[in-house]
Structure 1
Amino acid sequence: MTASDFVPFAYSNEVANGKITWKSPSNIALVKYWGKKENQIPANPSISFTLDTCATTTTIAYRKLEEEGNEFSFDLLFEGKPKDSFRPKIMTFFKRIEKYLPFLKSYHFTIETSNSFPHSSGIASSASGMSALSLCLMSLEKELYPEMSAEYFNRKASFLARLGSGSACRSIEGNLMEWGLHGETDGSSNEYAIKYPYTIHKVFTNYQDTILLVDKGQKQVSSTVGHELMHGHPFAEQRFLQAHNNLTKLQLVFANGNLNEFIEIVESEALTLHAMMMTSLPYFILMKPNTLEIINKIWAFRELSKTHVCFTLDAGANVHVLYPEAEKEIVYQFIKNELVAYCENGQYICDAIGYGAKKM
């Protein structure tokens, strides 16, 4: 499917008002997307674990306007209170998607949203937030066009979410989601994410992710700015090629359950992401001293315990500690005994692989 396939011709139903709620999870990329082209198109493909606990719940109440206005009409509540600082992002999102959801100016929306994790925790909420909002809007379109197939619904929801936040397109379904054209993956697309279509060894179906909240402050450089800095980056082309190669290698790893190779690829991807930040112009460092302390502790414990614990990082200081469920007891004890001390206010979140968004 291409973008033009998501432009509706006509609706077969009329809807005056209603209310819809979706709960959508965050996700953690194993192969990182860093750098984008026009219209939120990724410069390289990525693949992610869908999470379970870290999620955004969004409700939209909508009522048909007597006359369609020239502007988008919406109220926005976050955790039960008006949140004016979110309005510009929603306005930009609506402008991007109006072509694909032409009913947007025909309704007034009351958007209520809340996170299962603290908003200031340093966990990216744009993926869960934009995917939840996109699913609510798609549910309204489904009411206007009941004949819509489930496959079309999910693909268009992923497509719309991408226009709000690139990684949000990977939060619609689970447990492994791939986004971006990749020559070795059937059905892959830059426009939306797909469920990983090949064999997945059982060890990866219940993987654990403990998120260590190292720094809950505002990032010094936003991800949007960071992506832009890949234009003209001296190592950009090699990085994009590396992402393609790692995705191809992971196909064998996901099939045979080779955890040592999984660790090598995932940790290399995390460090490469931050290496790109440190070698851009202007350059910046989002890791904190405690991020490095945790990484070194993980390496030492893995060597000593012969477990398969590893780390990955988003574009920030927090550390995602990944490990198979069979090793949960020993690894979780290690996290509590040795790693929590490096978290801000001792805060961490226990999460695991999830299977996508749910309509409430």
Structure 2
Amino acid sequence: MSSTRPVPWVSPLLCLAVLAGGVYYALVDADPSARQAGFSALLLLLIGLDVLERHIPAAVLLITRTALYIAVNALDSSGVSRVLFVLIPFSAYFTFGRRIAIILGASCAAALPVVFTIRVPGWQTRAEYVSDLVMFALGIVLAITMAAVAVRERQARVRLEQVMQEVEALSAAQERNRLAREIHDSLGHHLTAIAVQLEKATAFAELDPPGARDAVANARWSADQALTEVRHSVRTLGRRPFCLTDALTELIDHLNGDRLTITLDVTGEETGRPTTSLTALYRAAQEALTNTCRHSGATNVRLSLAYDDSGASLTVADDGQGFDLREGFGLQGFGLRGMRERVAQLGGYLDLASTPAGTTISIRVSW
């Protein structure tokens, strides 16, 4: 296990400061000697350990540093090197935790008066030594505090990275769901319409050639619409403003036929409404009409669209055979489930009611 300090520059910087202070003291004292050379060499060795710390076990590194700090202090005649001992709890905090760091810091603070007692009799009455002891204890406290702040900052950064990864994953999932809804609501509708029209053309090819040709034309229109919507989805820039009323009118015109009559009633003003909400209502209408064509056997469908200051409402009611809501038909399918999710994201809701006399879907979105 190796040390992984968030602030690796503290130790070498402090060693360089001690080295500069010791060299300056030697020059001022005019006493450069082998002792001073050893002092400088040990400090450079400490800086080398900081460079190689990732390759040395943490316990070995801490013991080696402590031994070198003691040796440096033994060779130091200026007394500045005792500040190196604050690095013991500072470095230990990152590897062994707060409790060990506090124990080591307290031990270092307690060791200094013992050293003073051995080397300087009567130091308790000398202000400079008492001041040194107080400043050393304060340095220990600040070193531990700095280590704690650095560890918490690193933990916060790790948590932030994890949160960002989770957000990225959720965004990707949300985008996949959005694309799935778009594909289902757009291409799914048009493919269903194409299938219905081609079945009609096949059935009436001999009995009603003009009607069969109209069905083929409607199928071709649905294919063109599907292609256009795919192009618009891929190339959204420069797209013309979306008009829900026009889109519904065009859709109804191509779904109306001999067996199915669809009408649209619009109240209120559409201009200036959010495109996202209007698109959601259009997709809901597509899904509802697709289900009606495939399952209901209805002959009449009525769409009611109403705009107001707070939102818009769309009701799709048919006179088909309906279904049993308790069996979950239509509720668990991807189409209506996707419709519910899309509307819910816009602060709206979807209600579904069905009887043997027909089915009614009510959708509300808010601005």
Q: Same fold (TM over 0.5)?
A: no
| TM-score of Structure 1 vs Structure 2, range by shorter chain | under 0.3
Larger Rg computed on CA atoms: 2
Quick check: which one's helix share is greater? 2
TM-score by length of 2: 0.23
